[in-house]
Structure 1
């Protein structure tokens, strides 16, 4: 393609200002191939027959056993006094029920740790797995008083 030059001397050449579109076309072709390959993967779905769920919550609260331990070592099963020998058969019977009850231990503030540990060990040997402690909230912590 011949271009005219308005320079009188004719010796000075102007640079050609053309856009090089070859790299642009290469990038576009690569992107086109990527989209062609990945498009079928995005629409692929597996048909699964999911179960229907009800909208209300089904809460089953298991029975719980209140076990009281006094400072003197006396034991109380749901308010009924019992001896240490009667404790193991009751734990074994409670462990076989379905759903398994929770064991709530209410120990006196001055009860010996050894008595509490023996009760917990007997419950674990019998198969009770849900054991918890019941305590009273500290009256100094509630309200505006600070615990020291």
Structure 2
């Protein structure tokens, strides 16, 4: 601990020696750190148990494909449809049991407005099984051959 001899004129020191207070605070801090239990973050998950028989997988036989091509034509399984017809078709598929999967594939060169309108029709219809296919066309830009 550091000690100060005061001033040469014999006057008493007016400053308080804080070194012992700091020592006590450090000891208390170490005591608190030691006594606090270690908090571990754990997420309890029941992992599946390997069984000898595979579970019954329900394969849905019906998958419908909805496309928007470069001419902004909406096609249901290859047949051109209007947005009004599309709403009726989606209502019919929504009532099927099990509901068939809808695969949506807009062309990268189609207008965004048409794609957005088709997505709005899908959302309003209440379709729950929707997948986007052909997303690789929106990936990195590729130069045309020979450039």
Structure 1's unaligned 5+ residue stretches are 1-52, 142-148
- Cα drift, residue 97 of structure 1: 0.6
Equivalent residue number for residue 29 of structure 1: none
* Farther off after superposition, 94-103 or 57-66: 57-66
TM-score relative to the length of structure 1? 0.52
Which structure is larger by alpha-carbon Rg, 1 or 2?
A: 1
- Alignment of structure 1 residues 88-127 onto 2, 5 Å: 88-127=87-126
Pick from 50, 58, 68 the counterpart of residue 56 of structure 2: 58
Q: Which residue of 2 aligns with 1:128?
A: 127
Q: Could you tell me which runs of 5 or more consecutive residues in structure 2 were left unpaired when the two chains were aligned.
A: 1-50, 141-147
Q: 1:15 corresponds to which residue?
A: none
For residue 68 of structure 1, give the secondary structure of its aligned residue in structure 2: strand
Partner of 2:68: 69
Deviation of 1:137 (Å): 4.0
TM-score, normalised to structure 2, is 0.52
Number of aligned residue pairs: 88
User: Offset at 1:116?
Assistant: 1.4
Distance 1:114 1:82 in 2: 17
CA spacing shift, 1:56–1:121, aligned 2, 3 Å? same
Alpha-carbon separation, structure 2, partners of 1:131 and 1:81: 20
Once the 2 structures are TM-superposed, how far is the Cα of residue 100 of structure 1 from its aligned partner?
Answer: 1.1
Give the secondary structure class of the aligned counterpart of 2:56: coil
Partners of 1:116 and 1:64 in 2: CA distance: 20
Q: CA deviation at 1:136?
A: 6.0
Give the 3-state SS of the residue equivalent to 1:99 in structure 2: coil
Q: What is the Cα deviation at residue 73 of structure 1?
A: 1.5
Q: Once the 2 structures are TM-superposed, how far is the Cα of residue 98 of structure 1 from its aligned partner?
A: 1.1
